[in-house]
Structure 1
Amino acid sequence: MSCQVKVEQGVLQGKRVTSCNGKTFYSFEGIPYAKPPIGQLRFKNPEDPECWTGIRDATKPGNKACQPNLSTAKIEGSEDCLYLNVYTPCLPAEQVKNLPVLFFVHGGRLLFGYGDWYNPDYFIENDVIFVTINYRLNILGFLCLNIPEAPGNVALKDTIKALKWVNKNIHSFNGNCLNITVIGESAGAAVVTSYMVTKLADGMFNKVIAQSGNILADVIMTVDDPIEGAKHIASLLGKEIDDVKSLHEFFMNCPVDELLNAYFMAEFNRPPYVIRPFLTVVVEKKFHKVERYFSEHPVQSFKCNRYKKVPVLLGSSTHEGALFIRKNGKDIIYENDLNYFVPSYITFADEVESSLFQIKLRQYYFRGREINDEWKLEFANLLSDSFFDRDIVLFPELISKTQNVYVYNFSYIGNLNIRAMKDLGFKGTTHGDIIQYLIYRKNKAVMATDKDMKITKFLSECWCNFALEGSPSWKDQTFVWEPYKPNARLCLDINENKKMIVNPKYNRYKFWVDLCAVRAKI
């Protein structure tokens, strides 16, 4: 059968492939969803893609976004990176269907990553369409100079442009544009949950899956002045510039390798437990004829009931922050200056108030002691709560009164988990573990036991049934995954023996809420 599909911009040539389990599906990769953001479009909002004549080759992925290779320290990728990939079990020429769509946004701290790393094999088994995307990262995606030429958040708007393309064209791949589930992991979870509060995504999606993150996370949003960060990057390139127009002109003319090298010098020359991107998500200024992503901080939108009421599935691993414990050789680097863990939205009247906040933190986690190996697990808990879980628990607390929210706690330990927990001598799971069971990677699959594959099958089936019906279900289930309610706070513990439990992270979340409430400036 022909692997050609006609979309709004022209005809695509895809390919027929076979999944790891022998299922045939169709792959279309490297599809442009916007004009290349090069030349005068660097730092600007994405523009609609151009049409092409003839047949466009869609048998291999498009360029990844510019980013450093952490093994070689060299910059790889291209500014011309706005491409997506569509994987479908069947095409209309073969059989007309109306399949649910999973629109996946990759993580990577808004610094790294690319869509085609995330293979569709396990999802395709469940008769869904799987879409992955590339979007601008780091300084190219998040420079904000508070001017129309560099408004900020262009990476987020890239993902919206991709979602818009899917809405317009997915029917050509047998997809149902009225049943699109946006799914993201880590920073990708922050992106897809942001769709709930931006008008740019109105009417474009129907459900949300957010793994290990959301847009409320203090490690994603900033209330700091983005222009100061931009000035610092310019200074690393030998230029002291105060005027934003001159700053913009300098960055526009800077070779991309030099620009990214300076950016990552700023990124990595910070204390080890500062993990918020050096330039990140902001609430933009308003400009004539320039679409802005947020009109207010997302926390305000959710607290004031200004968000889309769609089913949500979300959760985290048992020790999300353990992955971010830094070492010098075999020795853990502990941070005893707890000021680094104060949320950016907190203000203090004076040094006494700031000191008191940190004393309470130290008392709660470490019984007032200095942090060392004796408190290794508690230090991991502090990182987990500060970077992830405080805001992950907050999310269903805010929205579960208005819609169904399904919360999970991923605690399964198998051969596919990354090594971080084992290396620390901890029992449990950490950031990035669940994705190992959802995404097929050949080098991982050969390590999988029968128990591991049962977890993989459970997760893909559950996630896909949620995409189909709005509630997670699986074969041979003996109980219902109940929606989260503030009076019960139940979540599904995902392990070999699955069961509903009371959210084990709520008490630590409540400590943070009580500690921060009177000092928050948003």
Structure 2
Amino acid sequence: MTPAVNEFLDEMRGGRMSDAPVVSVQQGSLQGRLVSAADGKAYYSFQGIPYAKPPLGSLRFKAPQPVEPWEGVREATAEGNVSAQIDPLFHKEYIGDENCLFLNVYTPNLDGEFLPVMVFIHGGGFKWGSGNTSLYGPDYLVDRDVVVVTLNYRCGPLGFLCLNTPEVPGNAGLKDIVQAVKWVKDNIQNFGGNPGNVTVFGESAGGVAVSLLTASPQTKNLISKAIIQSGTGLNGWAFQKTPLENAKALAKTLGCESEDYEDILEFLSTTPVKDLVVANSKLAQPELFYEKASSIFAPVVEKEFPGVEAALTEPFIDLLTSGRTAEIPIMIGSTTLEFMLGHTPEDFQIFIPDNLSLKRNSEESLAVAEKIKSLYFKDGHTGVEHLTEYYQLLSDKLINIDIHRYVKYLINVSKKPIFYYKFAYVGELNVHGKLLTSLGLKHASHMDELGYLFKNVLQNDVEPTAADVKMRERMLRLWTNFAKGGNPTPEENHFITVNWQPVTKDNLYYLKLGSELSLDTNPDKKKMEFWEELYSKYFKIWEEPIKNDIAVEQVTPLDETQETVYEKQETVDEKQETVDVKEENVETETVEDDSKSEPNANNVDEQEYVTDTNGIVTETEEVVQIVTKSEEIIETVTESENQEEVKPDIVESVTASETLLEEVKPEVVEEPEPIVEVSPLKEEVKIVAEEIQGPKVTEIAKEYQNGNAKIHRNGNGYLDKAPLRTSNEIKMAVKANGAPKDVIRANDPPEDDLPKNIGVNKFVNFFESLGGKK
């Protein structure tokens, strides 16, 4: 036997184990301890439990691996390492370690009563934080007969570096959380918890993570209920916008100038972890979050690879609006003033969400900015005496608008209750109370509700008032009631004085958590109606990222003299891309390849389109047959004589001469099918640089990576430049006799640009559900 086992047996024989409980899990045995809670009651604590293999060496940046079994009894009496980070709240210097995949279990008993389980996900902007008791002491919650689990996950580049490769597809930190939830599901019954009643809750970045877990295929049937506090997957900062560029920027900051992602991975894999964290802190300045609503290292929409399990492969908004998130009860809300930083800007265009796609300094953008200013600031005054108004605007931009959107979208597709709240209470236990007082403001701020759910070190010298104690009791009952049965107010009593009704399509009920509880409808009604109108007018769901693809995508803008083109989308063969090139009236060389492409990866019928310069696309079966039969893709390829340089325009083109059109015309049926508008974003020919042979591909890839391509998607699927067709002008499709046949908006997407279960014929209803108009 090992010395540890002998010592353990000696303690048992000596009768000294009353305060050292032992629990068996799948990997071995754990020795915890008996802890005295704040009110004098005792609970069992098991800390520093490994839920995954240490992500060291070759496992850096990789998805978590199952934890290996251990022999004997493992001590679980102290918290494990936190993720490597610079903690801005307590230490303000580098702390932590790569070996950080630990969780903590706190339970009121070990007798197998199968109590509800609450798993908390910490915030910190995906850069810092932990599940430690410094902020998240379980004393109050455990006293309400629930099992509490807190955990650490990899933050910053360690958890969210994405290279769009099978080795580093991204979301390692999110997968850490998934792995922890799976561990809870497999083992929590040994701690007196019910694996069939697991509520996941989190705040800020933790709230984002919880919302993503409800949409991830990896957590299917693992989560019973979710509580989302001050953050959702709709927030602009919830996802990386340019993951590949972020990876290169990190490497360059550390001295790696290579553009090759294999070189970057090798370099970052061998860089000291502290250097990674410090470099990330230089890149991820607070202004990036507050002014740009952006994150350097955060979740991504993963590119799919055979045999690689992904946490998220589709945009969260697609999954949400099409009803493909977990069908479970949801509690969601925010605080009165989430953020307080900075001062009122001169240019209010920074408050216009990026996904509205308004061109900066355009007439529309300036007009919207002026409306924002007049809505939030009385008489247009924006001085220091109006800090509250500024913080309200900042909080709406970063949190509240998207929580409102989340609720509105979810209520259209979910049959489960959705409980909406606003935390407005100001007391001695507010986490940011001292800061607010120094500013002369009396509002609940970001994280303030946590002081009424968890014991934390900030409360060590605080004497709560009677009102604070009452508020804490209310919060604890609401949260644990929801975890136990999905209803936060199953009955009214001295603490719970209202019946919290879930939202409906007709009434956006919400509970105001102030000095007293009150049920109302439509929080910030005037402001939210303003943002709803903006989204109804400018937001186009089909222009959100479709997928995360490393493919080099470019389009040569159509020349005004060109009247017609052929377009065909090609899926990429895993080994080699088939490229047949032809152009008339331009001196080019033709590059041919006899290999065949794979079937349509999106399960959308292969189609061929005849497009005029106005962007109207006519689909005919004969054209499809002709082009399919000939197996030709028309692309423009310009290549220098000595092949020393390949211009960005080489990657793809969609041009063909009028002569070729004339050859096709006799084959077209007399009565064409209804005209369907096709977004050029989906019809671009995709060429994966790494999978095409030849020295010129490297140059093409560099053009893409350096951002010099005329039009291309970045690593997360967003367009860096505006698409070819931006007008929303109404186009008229004409029948053979010249009469108008259908009215199509120029920006209406093709069927495969919409969520999977929504076809073109259902687009109007779908668009109206988002607040749009016919």
The interval holding the TM-score normalised by the smaller chain is over 0.9
1:414 aligns with 2:424: no
Asked if 1:462 corresponds to 2:481, the answer is: no
Alignment equivalent of 2:323, drawn from 305, 308, 330: 305
Residue 453 (structure 1) aligns with: 469
- Tell me if 1:257 matches 2:274: yes
In the superposition, relative to structure 1, how do residues 347 and 241 fare at CA in structure 2: closer, same or farther (>3 Å)?
farther
Q: Secondary structure at the match of 2:275?
A: helix
Match of 1:268 among 285, 289, 292: 285
8 Å CA contact 1:88–1:124 kept in 2: the answer is yes
Question: Aligned residue for 1:217?
Answer: 235
Correspondences of 1:228-243 after superposition (within 5 Å): 228-243=245-260
Where does residue 397 of structure 1 map in the other structure?
Answer: 408
Identity of aligned residues (%): 36
Residues 388/349 of structure 1: CA separation in 2 closer, same or farther (3 Å cut): closer
Q: Which residue of 1 aligns with 2:76?
A: 58
The residue number in structure 2 matching 1:74 is: 93
Contact preservation (8 Å) 1:362, 1:368: no
**CA offset at residue 421 of structure 1?**
2.8
**Partner residue of 2:355 out of 345, 357, 373:** 345
Q: 2:391 is matched with which residue?
A: 380
Which digits, 9 at most, give the CA deviation of each residue in 1:263-319, with x for residues without a partner? 111112755634532222211111121111112111111111111111111111111
Please tell me whether residue 441 in structure 1 is matched to residue 456 in structure 2.
yes
Partners of 2:21 and 2:31 within 8 A in 1? yes
Structure 1 stretch 412-421 or stretch 50-59: which is displaced more? 412-421
Pair 1:125-2:143 in alignment = yes
Closer/same/farther in 2, CA of residues 269 and 208 from structure 1, 3 Å limit: closer
* 1:81-116 CA-partner distances (Å, limit 9, x unpaired): 000000010113xxx311000011011111111112
Match of 2:438 among 398, 423, 429: 423
Residue aligned with 1:101, SS:
strand
Amino acid at match of 1:190: V
Deviations 1:334-353 (A, max 9, x none): 32233433323232367414
Which stretch shifts more, 166-175 or 205-214?
205-214
Distance 1:448-1:155 versus aligned 2 partners, 3 A rule: same
Kindly tell me: are residues 142 and 251 of structure 1, through their superposed partners in 2, closer, same or farther at Cα, counting changes over 3 Å?
A: same
How far the C-alpha of 1:466 sits from its partner, in A, is 0.8
Distance in 2 of aligned mates of 1:507 and 1:102? 35
Task: Say whether 1:226 aligns with 2:243.
Answer: yes
1:97 corresponds to which of 97, 113, 123: 113
1:18 aligned onto 2:36: yes
Secondary structure in structure 2 of the residue aligned to 1:415: coil
Decide which moves more: 132-141 or 71-80: 71-80
Tell whether the 8 Å contact from 1:75 to 1:257 is kept in structure 2 after alignment: yes
TM-score norm. by structure 2 comes to 0.64
Cα pair distance change 1:269/1:391, threshold 3 Å: closer
How far apart are 1:212 and its partner, in Å? 1.4
Q: Go from structure 1 to structure 2 and tell me whether the alpha carbon gap of 1:503 and 1:75 turns closer, same or farther (over 3 Å shift).
A: same
Partner of residue 212, structure 2: 194
* 2-structure distance, mates of 1:187, 1:395: 15
1:142 to 154, 160, 172: 160
Distance 2:218 2:410 in 1: 20
- Report if aligned partners of 2:498, 2:517 keep a CA contact under 8 Å in 1: no
Larger radius of gyration: 2
Q: CA deviation at 1:249?
A: 1.2
Distance in 2, matches of 1:368 and 1:152, equals 47
Distance of 1:421 and 1:72 partners within structure 2: 21
Per the normalisation by structure 1, the TM-score is: 0.93
| Alpha-carbon displacement from aligned partner over 1:464-514 (angstroms, at most 9, x marks no partner) | 111111100264344311111231212111122211112322332221222
Q: Give 5+ residue unaligned stretches, structure 2.
A: 1-17, 545-774
Aligned partners of 1:65 and 1:135 also within 8 Å: yes
- Quick one: which of 91, 111, 114 aligns to 2:127? 111
Tell me the SS of whatever aligns to 2:249: helix
Q: Which amino acid aligns with 1:493?
A: K
Is the 8 Å Cα contact of residues 239 and 295 (structure 2) preserved in structure 1? no
Counterpart residue type for residue 435 of structure 1: L
Quick one: which of 26, 40, 43 aligns to 1:8?
26
Query: What's the RMSD between the two structures over aligned residues?
Result: 1.9
Aligned residue in 2 for 1:171? 189
The secondary structure found in structure 1 opposite 2:300 is coil
The alpha carbon displacement at 1:208 in A equals 0.6
- Aligned-pair distance for 1:11? 0.4
Quickly say closer, same or farther: Cα 1:397–1:69, change in 2 above 3 A.
Answer: closer
Kindly indicate whether residue 370 of structure 2 is the aligned counterpart of residue 359 of structure 1.
yes
CA contact (8 A) 2:334 2:421 kept: yes
Q: How big is the shift at 1:34?
A: 0.5
* Rounded Cα–Cα distance in structure 2 between residues aligned with 1:368 and 1:295: 46
Which stretch shows the higher mean deviation, 141-150 or 501-510?
Answer: 501-510
Question: What SS class does the counterpart of residue 171 from structure 1 fall into?
Answer: helix
Tell me if structure 2 keeps the 8 A contact 1:359–1:368.
no
Q: Which residue of 1 aligns with 2:200?
A: 182
Partner AA of 1:233 in structure 2: L
Question: Do the aligned partners of 2:31 and 2:73 also contact (CA within 8 Å) in 1?
Answer: yes
1:489 aligns with: 508
Q: Which one has more relative contact order, counting CA pairs under 8 Å at least 6 apart?
A: 1
Aligned twin of 1:506:
525
Counterpart CA distance in 1 for 2:522 and 2:448 is 19
Work out the CA distance in 1 between the residues paired with 2:428 and 2:421: 20
- Aligned residue for 1:329? none
